[in-house]
Homo-oligomer: A and B are copies of this chain.
Amino acid sequence: MNLTTAEENYLKAIYHLSDGGKKSVSTNDVAGEMNTKPASVSDMLRKLGEKEVIEYRKYYGVNITDEGKKRALQTIRKHRLWEVFLVEKLNFAWDEVHEVAEELEHIQSPLLIQRLDAFLNYPKFDPHGDPIPDEFGDVRARPRIPLNEMELNQSGQIVAVKDSSAAFLRYLDKVGAYIGARIKVLDKVEFDGSLEILVDQKKNIFMSKDVAGNILVLQS
């Protein structure tokens, strides 16, 4: 079930106020954080309770549910990725980005966020130093492995290269294996360790073990 922009903002506020779901949060606290009146908050809490992203007991404040935590972290992830984009790519100052990111975080497109993440080279922290949750809401770093060490039929995303020489990058460009590409191992030749890879669900490419060893993949 989907949340509206307002609901997403309330949920994010509750997440922050509860310190990531550790403590319960009062109606007044939420009203303060959201710059709304307590009466409006009561109404919204009822709705969020019905959608089961918070546990709401009248007069006793709210606790965020696991589902709610997941949703809040997704919004936070989007917010922070956009902040990185604004600072690193569009030359915004670190203190100019919040307002705009507050709008951008509500754009609905999982693909957009996946691609943005790849484009920014999977940043782990936003410009304020806050950690960026991964797509599962996990804040810990994920392991990257060389492409040649992946198992048959495993999927992932190209996130980096070991050899970043112009020649190697040109080669990758030519075969269509850019940073951020979603890949799947279709075949591994035992004889020489070479691989057949499906790129972005449409293009098949072949590469030697040496080449694959220089490509780092985030498993998914």
A positions within 8 Å CB-CB of B: 86, 89-92, 96, 99-100, 103-104, 107-109, 111-112, 115-116, 119, 178, 180-181, 200
Say how many copies of this protein the assembly contains.
Answer: 2
Q: What does DSSP make chain A's interface, helix, strand, loop or mixed?
A: loop
Contact (Cβ within 8 A) B116 A90: yes
Contact (Cβ within 8 A) B109 A91: no
Contact (Cβ within 8 A) A115 B103: no
Contact (Cβ within 8 A) A96 B108: no
Q: Cβ of A90: which chain B residues have Cβ within 8 Å of it? A: 112, 115-116, 119, 180
Least distance between A220 CB and chain B CB atoms (Å): 17
Contact (Cβ within 8 A) A111 B91: no
Q: Cβ of A104: which chain B residues have Cβ within 8 Å of it? A: 104, 107
Closest residue of chain B to A89 (Cβ to Cβ) is B119
Q: Cβ of A89: which chain B residues have Cβ within 8 Å of it? A: 119
Q: Cβ of A103: which chain B residues have Cβ within 8 Å of it? A: 107-109
Q: Which 7 A-B pairs have the closest CB atoms?
A: A90-B115, A100-B109, A103-B107, A100-B112, A90-B119, A89-B119, A104-B107
Q: Cβ of A96: which chain B residues have Cβ within 8 Å of it? A: 111
Give complex CA distance A211, B72 in Å.
Answer: 47
Closest residue of chain B to A104 (Cβ to Cβ) is B107
Least distance between A200 CB and chain B CB atoms (Å): 8
Contact (Cβ within 8 A) B91 A178: yes
User: Given that A119-B89, A180-B91 are contacting pairs, would A107 and B100 also be in contact in the complex, using a CB cutoff of 8 Å?
Assistant: yes
